[in-house]
Amino acid sequence: MENYQDLLNKQRNYFRGGKTKDVQFRIDTLNKLKDLIHTNELAILSAVKQDLNKSELEAKRAEVGLVLAEIDFTLEHLESWAETKEVPTAASHEGAQSFIKPEPYGSVLVIAPWNYPFQLAVSPLVGAIAGGNTAVLKPSELTPNTSAILSSIFNDHFPEEYLHVIEGEVETSTALLKEDFDYIFFTGSTGVGKIVAEAAAKHLTPMTLELGGKSPTIVHEDANLDEAALRIARGKFANAGQTCVAPDYLLVHSSVKETLLDKLKASITAAYGENIVENPYFGHVVSERHFDRLVDFLNNGTIAAGGQSDRSQLIIEPTILDNISWDDPVMQDEIFGPILPVIAYDDPAAIIDEIVKRPKPLALYLFSEDENFQDEILNTISFGGGAINDTISHMTSHYLPFGGVGASGMGAYHGKASFDTFTHFKSILKRTNK
């Protein structure tokens, strides 16, 4: 197993030279990164297509577009974020000054996942650069073509003592986690997140964990069913359901269940066609292991729509599973695929009780026009973030910190929250000697 101590020492020495702390240097780096993304856009889209069969339109929007928007927003605000800010001083220290000075942590490690292999690798790096840190990026081995592009973009255009990509298998991540980085940012499963947290604890390294969980979608009896069906289908089946904030399961009031399912089927057909297994633009499951795990779920309940699959192409149709119980295997762990289990309810209190006694989800979505019911859900269920009368859109706003809670993660990023994540805010009280 390789030792990365030399690389970390180089990054520490580079950081101590003070170059990365200069705000203009950070701005110049972000502009350079933006230019490199534009220059390599076709190669990025091609790599993501090879790895996940992600369509050009979807990859442009969700992989490249979101990163470029994050860079632009950061460039617009970085100077003000990085300023030392004076704050009021307590009366007991009359005559003194108090201020807060943002400073970078130092050398950070970013471990990225495979499901959005470009966006979820580069977006955290935008925050690390904006904060004034050096960084090591470990992309996922399950998306090798995108990992190679990331390596080319960073390793060919930035010195390794500043920004460096390391490709490799799980053993590479394990070796990197043994090093004493100043901050760790991990995106992935809850199970691996626990391993990362254990490794970080040995050095008391602060970290952000962007994990997952079973994100519920509730469709109440008063919901706009046309909009609900369209937005649930879009949020669930994009990227073949391999999205951390995708609706994981559907809780629908029994009085509107059949109508909603009919509209969901229509929305799926409108988006992907009749014979989806033959659709060249529908995303593929990332690996045979994940494919086999997902196909096993098709034995749960009854198939209300979809259900076809092709292992040779790693493709599974968008599938709706009806007559599901809370105890079925598909309801035990995050699905992370194009399968939507459905549970009907009559008593809202019963589903609230079921949700709150499970691990806190990364996201929750509610379709209802009843503001009292909206307030009840928001006040009684803990979750990372979510939306009312929509799905997944909250994670695209620069003004909404994105992250989990409990088993779905700790810490947040996007917009100013990204700068804050990779920044220590140093509190100073300055007294005179008079």
For the stretch 334-353, pLDDT in tens is: 999 999 999 999 999 999 99
The answer to whether position 402 is within a domain reads no
Domain span at 369: 216-396
203 plus 222 within the same structural domain: no
210 is catalytic: yes
How many domains are there within the chain?
2
The answer to whether position 244 is within a domain reads yes
DSSP 64: I
Measuring CA to CA, which residue among 257, 214, 250 is closest to residue 233?
A: 250
Helix, strand, coil distribution of the chain in percent, nearest 5: 45, 20, 35
Q: Whole-angstrom Cα distance, residue 390 to residue 224?
A: 11
> Quick one: pLDDT band at residue 434, thresholds 50, 70, 90?
low
The answer to whether position 401 is within a domain reads no
Within 10 angstroms of residue 349's Cβ, the number of other Cβ atoms is 10
Are the CB atoms for 250 and 219 separated by under 8 Å? yes
Q: What is the pLDDT of residue 426?
A: 98
The answer to whether position 42 is within a domain reads yes
Catalytic residue among 161, 179, 210, 334: 210
Catalytic residue among 161, 179, 244, 334: 244
Span 205-243, pLDDT tens digits: 999 999 999 999 999 999 999 999 999 999 999 999 999
Q: How far apart are the first and last CA of the chain?
A: 59
Q: What is the pLDDT of residue 313?
A: 94
Q: Whole-angstrom Cα distance, residue 426 to residue 99?
A: 8
Residue written as token pair 């076709």: 42
Task: Decide if pLDDT at 371 tops 90.
Answer: yes
Span 260-286, pLDDT tens digits: 999 999 999 999 998 898 889 899 999
Span 123-153, pLDDT tens digits: 999 999 999 999 999 999 999 999 999 999 9
∠ CA 392-116-167 to the nearest 5 degrees? 155
300 plus 353 within the same structural domain: yes
H-helix or E-strand spanning residue 428: strand 423-430
The answer to whether position 87 is within a domain reads yes
The maximal CA–CA distance of the chain, rounded, in angstroms, is: 82
232 plus 365 within the same structural domain: yes
Span 178-208, pLDDT tens digits: 999 999 999 999 999 999 999 999 999 999 9
List Cβ neighbours of 384 (8 Å cut-off, separation of 6 or more). Answer: 360, 361, 362, 363, 402, 403, 404, 405, 408, 409
